[in-house]
Structure 1
Amino acid sequence: MKTSVQAGVVGALACGTLLAALAFGRHDGGGLADDAAPPKGPYVALGDSYTAGPRIPDQTGKPAGCDRSDRNYPALVADELGLAAADFRDVSCSGATISDLSTSQSTDDGVNPAQLSALSADTRLVTIGIGGNDIGFASLVRECVTAGAIYHAMGSGKYLPEDAPCSRRYVSQGTDEVQERITTAGERLSGALSEVRNRAPKAQVYVVGYPAILPSEETDCGREMGLAPGDVTFLHAREQQLNAMLRKRAEAAGARYVDTYTPSEGRDACSAEDTRWVEPLIPRSPAASVHPNERGERGMADAVLRALDAHG
């Protein structure tokens, strides 16, 4: 998700709050590839900042504005597979939307070519982690943090379990604005998966879901996130809906879905500093706000590797 948004949040929330991958291989019938072993490459990684790993040392690759880490999950997967540098391309980019798979993306420091241009008939493995920016999840978190801060300041200084000042902005009279965005993103993803198939017909492709960002139970997350309890529940539910869409669209395309949420439960941004996969508003480890740290990227890599082993 988009790291450039975070800088804006720092200014907007000066009070101390901060903003906060698919497997279809194809055989003759166009379904899942039935290879005897996991593919060894060439491997192409596509995705947004949850794939790129902004601020996790060391930052590498061009353009610099994509904020890729040499310890993000694609790099860790490539290393475990023993791939040579020539057989691994990471074109993920912070801030990427599904449309940036097929068009160039401008960043604060350079232009990232259309990510799908990295694919070829020789590609054997593709991971894709994308969709969060299409629903504006980063800005959604930012607005919920702001709404919570205002609500908190105007109230008694304490939240009630049912307090959800942000969710009321997005769910009204039976209409769920965020769910509509998720539906639209799903349609775009289906088109992108079709294009991946056209460009890399022999590749196994894995759609990588998002890890747990917030806990499932109602909580204000203490000082870590500054969200009203009901808004924690609201945002958690929308992430679950996003992951469900990614799974559904992957399976409809004959793809494989990588579940990173289940192994990350209890390791969200509100959990203990020494176990969490996702950093809170003010990171305590080298990572972007409300993004995976190195532990999280390792956990996501392990999930991808388990999926490769399961379908080898």
Structure 2
Amino acid sequence: MRHRPTATRIRLTALLTSALVVAGGPAAGVPATAAPVGGYDGYVALGDSYAAYGSVSKSYGTPAGCGRARDDYPNGLATALGLAGFADVTCGDATTLSMTAPEPVPGGVNPPQFDALGPDTELVTVTIGAKDAFSDLLAACAAIAGTDPQGNPCQRAYTASGTDLALAAIDATRPKVEGVLDGVHARSPHATVVLVGYLPLLPPTTGCWPDVPIARGDVPYAYGLQKRLNAVLGEAAAGHRAVFGDPGGALGHDACRPPGERWVEPLDPAPDTNATHPNPAGQAHVAALIRSLLP
């Protein structure tokens, strides 16, 4: 069984992937290739921790360090589509490089995720880009939030040079995600491809420091950065023959909400869930969103 991360370093690593995942626009999509008669077979799920994580107690598969859960959105979508079997190769720390290169994780190595694709694959979902965009960029934001919890120390730090380093990193992610989509189409030319955005971690304003350790004045800044991330993903999808599923408009279910209302967990998560990541209710929402967008 995979254990929920508790060490400060691990929490900050999880946070930096999702600290800007706060809110976006309403769900949107672009035309995809038509589904084969009789529905979808050969479903492959690609992506990072926002696709893989769910209940800690429902972890399965190898390597264990990927953290895939039986109640992640790929499993929920497969159930909704009535698929008896599918390939869930999502993995917790995945970046766009993890599509074509092995990814070392605790307990082993996850093979290149593209290895699961084939010419008969008919449906592909992929959640990717947050790790590429942010990497360790926001670890410092969490570390300095306590120095000015009512102010905007993160925004000041990353715009001090006159260039917004966070926005620049987000924009630099677009061609990487486009390359992923092109790689999927090359390996599975008949597949419907769904690029999936990120659920909100924070509300548009105020936040809940220290439960999610982003300073209060930085929350609107983080909100804007997340909107840009999901916008970049939407642009990549539109130009590369993919449907875009954007759960960023799911306001009122962020990590600052009480248990039972939130779809993403705070730094001190509810039992059997993962800090700063979707809980089972959030994953169920994403699965339903994707299902609604399929032809």
Do they superpose with TM above 0.5? yes
Q: Which residues in structure 2 correspond to 1:258-297 (within 5 Å)?
A: 258-262=245-249, 264-297=250-283
User: Letter of the aligned partner of 1:305 in structure 2?
Assistant: R
The match for 1:89 among 87, 90, 104 is 87
Identify the residue that residue 223 of structure 2 maps to in structure 1. Answer: 236
CA 1:92–1:6: 2 relative to 1, 3 Å: farther
CA 1:38–1:57: 2 relative to 1, 3 Å: farther
For the residue of structure 2 that corresponds to 1:135, the secondary structure is helix
For the residue of structure 2 that corresponds to 1:92, the secondary structure is coil
Identify the residue that residue 48 of structure 2 maps to in structure 1. Answer: 48
User: Letter of the aligned partner of 1:93 in structure 2?
Assistant: C
Query: Could you tell me how far 1:234 is from its partner in structure 2?
Result: 1.7
Query: Could you tell me how far 1:46 is from its partner in structure 2?
Result: 0.1
CA distance in 2, matches of 1:230, 1:38: 51
CA distance in 1, matches of 2:176, 2:268: 33
Identify the residue that residue 256 of structure 1 maps to in structure 2. Answer: 243
Identify the residue that residue 246 of structure 1 maps to in structure 2. Answer: 233
Identify the residue that residue 183 of structure 2 maps to in structure 1. Answer: 195
For the residue of structure 2 that corresponds to 1:250, the secondary structure is helix
Q: Return 5+ residue gaps in structure 2 as ranges.
A: 20-27
Note if contact 1:129-1:208 (Cα within 8 Å) is conserved in structure 2.
yes
Note if contact 1:47-1:130 (Cα within 8 Å) is conserved in structure 2.
yes
Q: Which residues in structure 2 correspond to 1:11-90 (within 5 Å)?
A: 32-35=32-35, 39-53=39-53, 55-85=55-85, 88-90=86-88
For the residue of structure 2 that corresponds to 1:45, the secondary structure is strand
TM-score of the two chains, using structure 1 as the length reference: 0.83
CA distance in 2, matches of 1:91, 1:110: 14
CA distance in 2, matches of 1:120, 1:142: 38
Identify the residue that residue 169 of structure 1 maps to in structure 2. Answer: 157
Note if contact 2:54-2:69 (Cα within 8 Å) is conserved in structure 1.
yes
Q: Return 5+ residue gaps in structure 1 as ranges.
A: 25-30, 153-158
The match for 1:108 among 89, 106, 109 is 106
CA distance in 2, matches of 1:243, 1:140: 18
Q: Which is higher, the Rg of structure 1 or of structure 2?
A: 1
User: Letter of the aligned partner of 1:98 in structure 2?
Assistant: T
Identify the residue that residue 306 of structure 1 maps to in structure 2. Answer: 292
Query: Could you tell me how far 1:12 is from its partner in structure 2?
Result: 8.0
Query: Could you tell me how far 1:228 is from its partner in structure 2?
Result: 1.6
Query: Which is bigger in relative contact order (C-alpha 8 A, separation at least 6)?
Result: 2
1:208 aligns with 2:196: yes
1:123 aligns with 2:111: no
Note if contact 1:123-1:200 (Cα within 8 Å) is conserved in structure 2.
yes
Instruction: State how many pairs are aligned.
Output: 283
Note if contact 1:53-1:68 (Cα within 8 Å) is conserved in structure 2.
yes
CA distance in 2, matches of 1:52, 1:118: 15
Identical pairs, percent = 35
User: Letter of the aligned partner of 1:304 in structure 2?
Assistant: I
CA distance in 2, matches of 1:10, 1:257: 30
For the residue of structure 1 that corresponds to 2:286, the secondary structure is helix
Query: Could you tell me how far 1:129 is from its partner in structure 2?
Result: 0.4
TM-score of the two chains, using structure 2 as the length reference: 0.88
Note if contact 2:74-2:287 (Cα within 8 Å) is conserved in structure 1.
yes
CA 1:36–1:94: 2 relative to 1, 3 Å: closer
CA distance in 1, matches of 2:107, 2:148: 37
Note if contact 1:42-1:125 (Cα within 8 Å) is conserved in structure 2.
yes
Query: Could you tell me how far 1:178 is from its partner in structure 2?
Result: 1.2
Note if contact 2:5-2:275 (Cα within 8 Å) is conserved in structure 1.
no
Query: Could you tell me how far 1:285 is from its partner in structure 2?
Result: 3.8
Identify the residue that residue 150 of structure 1 maps to in structure 2. Answer: 147
Identify the residue that residue 156 of structure 1 maps to in structure 2. Answer: none
